[in-house]
Amino acid sequence: MHDLNYFREHLDLFEQMARHRGIELDLDGFRALDRERRELITAAERSKAERNKASEEIARLKKAGQDASGLIAEMKRVSDRIKQDDERIALLDERLREFLLIVPNLPHPSVPVGRGEQDNVEVRRWGTPPQFSFAPRPHWEVGERAGILDLPRAAIIAGTRFALYKGAGARLERALANFFLDLHTQEHGYTEILPPFVANRASLVGTGHLPKFAGDMFRLEGTGLWLTPTAEVQLTNLYRDETLDADALPIKVCAWTACFRSEAGAAGKDTRGIARQHQFQKVELFKFTRPEQSYDELESLVRDAEAVLQRLGIHYRVVQLCTADIGFASAKTYDLEVWLPSTGAFKEISSCSNCEAFQARRAAIRYRPKGGKSDFVHTLNGSGLAVGRTWLAVVENYQQTDGSIVVPEALRPYMGTDRIPAPAAAKA
C-alpha cells in the first residue's frame, strides 16, 4: 500500500504506473473522496477544539461553584454534530483505504516498459540444453512409466491438479527440498523457518494477496484462515507490527512449505502434468533489508536461487519482467526459467522480487537506524526453488533412452542412488 500523502502528491506517477502496468485507476474518484474527507476533518477538528475549550471552562465554573448548564447544553449540540462528522469521516477513510489497498506497487525505473510477457527481457543464460538420441518425453510420461508419479489416483483422492508421488518419486521431491534448504542455510546464510501453512486475513493483506486476489486462494470455511499460496506470506509477517534493529539487517530467512492455489483464472494452461497444481511445495527465500541495500540484495537473492540450478546442472535463463508482467506488490522482478526438453522451451521455476516498502507499509514492519527515526524496511522474496517444477525439470532433463532417470550428482546423497530405474525394472 502506498502512503496517502505520497499518493496525493504524486498522482502523475501513479497515472503513468497504471498505463505501464495496463490497469485502470480511478484517480478522479480518489480526488473527490480525498477532498471531501479533508474538508470534513478540518470542520470536525474545529468543533473539537471548541468543545475541548468549553470543557475546561465547565470544569473551572463547577470548581468555583458556578452554573455551567448553558454551556453544557450548547456543547451537547456541538458533540452531536461532531459525532455525525466523525461517522462520515470514518466512512470516507474506509473507502480511501479500500481504494489504496488495490493500487499496485510502482515499478522501479530500471524495469522495462511492456505490454505482456513477450516484452520481458532475457538477462543471461547458464549451461546448454542436454542432447538426446531420442525424442525426449514429457515428465508425466517419464514419471508414470517409471512408476514414480500417479496423477489418476491423485484425482480420485482430491481432484485434478493434484499430484501423487510414489517410491523414488516421493523421495526425489523430499530430496530436492532438503538439498535446497541445506544449500541456502549452510552456504548462503539463510535461517530456516518452518511456519504454519495457513495464514489469517491480516497477514494476507500485509503481503497484498488480499483484498484483491481472494479468488486465487483456498479459504477455510468458518475459521477466518486461508491456505497459504506462498511462504512469502508467512515470512513477510514474521515481523508484522515490529520495529527491527538496524544492525540486524539484512535478515535472511528461508522456509520449506506446501503452497495452495485455486488458480481460478488459469483454466486451460498446463493441463497435463504437474507444472500447475493446487498444491505444491516450495522453498522460499526472503530478506528484510534497509532501503538503500535492497537492490544489491535482490541481485544476490537471484544468485542464491540460480546456484540451485547450477548444482543440479540444469540449463536455465534469467529474465527481467516488464511493467505489465511484474506482480502486484513488486517493484522489480527476475524470473528463473528452466529448460524443458519435451517442449524445447523455458519454463518459470522461480520468481525473485523486491517489494521495496510496499508490503512493509501494509504489515507495519519498520527498522530504527541508530539515533534516527524509524522507517519501513524493504522486503524481498524469491523461490529457491519451486520443488514440483524442479522435480519435473530433473525428470525431463535426466531421462534416458530406457526410461530410467539419472540422479544429478548433487542429489545423490539425498537419494541414496545414482539412478531411478527403468520401467522394466520398476515395480508396478
Binding site for RNA (CB under 7 A): 3-5, 38, 41-42, 45-46, 48-49, 51-56, 58-59, 62, 72, 75-76, 78-79, 90, 371, 373
- Label residue 295 exposed, middle or buried (CB < 10 Å: 0-12, 13-18, 19+): middle
Catalytic residue among 37, 171, 261, 362: 261
**Of 3 and 26, CB closest to RNA:** 3
Nearest to 228 by CA among 251, 262, 270: 262
Q: Which residues contact 192 (CB under 8 A, 6 or more apart)?
A: 181, 184, 185, 253, 254, 255, 256
Q: Which residues contact 32 (CB under 8 A, 6 or more apart)?
A: none
> Residue 259 CB, nearest distance to RNA (Å)?
21
262 is annotated as an active-site residue: no
State the cell numbers at 166. Answer: 510414489
State the cell numbers at 385. Answer: 526453488
**Of 51 and 419, CB closest to RNA:** 51
> Residue 41 CB, nearest distance to RNA (Å)?
4
19 is annotated as an active-site residue: no
Give CA separation, 410 vs 152, 182, 338, in Å. Answer: 31, 11, 17
51 is annotated as an active-site residue: no
- Which H or E run contains 10? none
* SS3 at position 348: strand
35 is annotated as an active-site residue: no
> Residue 421 CB, nearest distance to RNA (Å)?
34
Q: Are strands 242-245 and 219-220 parallel, antiparallel or unpaired?
A: unpaired
Nearest to 179 by CA among 422, 404, 391: 391
Catalytic residue among 36, 50, 263, 348: 348
Distance of alpha carbon 219 from alpha carbon 261, whole angstroms: 10
> Residue 37 CB, nearest distance to RNA (Å)?
7
Q: Please, what sign has the CA dihedral across residues 161, 164, 169, 174?
A: positive
Q: Are strands 365-368 and 242-245 parallel, antiparallel or unpaired?
A: parallel
207 phi and psi angles, rounded to 5 deg: -85, -20
Q: Are strands 251-260 and 279-289 parallel, antiparallel or unpaired?
A: antiparallel
Catalytic residue among 37, 137, 362, 389: 389
294 is annotated as an active-site residue: no
422 phi and psi angles, rounded to 5 deg: -70, 160
**Of 59 and 264, CB closest to RNA:** 59
Nearest to 10 by CA among 24, 26, 27: 27
> Residue 97 CB, nearest distance to RNA (Å)?
12
Strands (E) across 168-303 are located at 191-193, 198-200, 219-220, 225-227, 242-245, 251-260, 279-289
Give CA separation, 162 vs 112, 151, 272, 280, 426, in Å. Answer: 36, 7, 11, 8, 23
| HSE, side-chain direction, 13 A CA sphere, residue 310 | 10
> Residue 294 CB, nearest distance to RNA (Å)?
21
Query: Which residues are catalytic, by number?
Result: 261, 276, 348, 351, 389
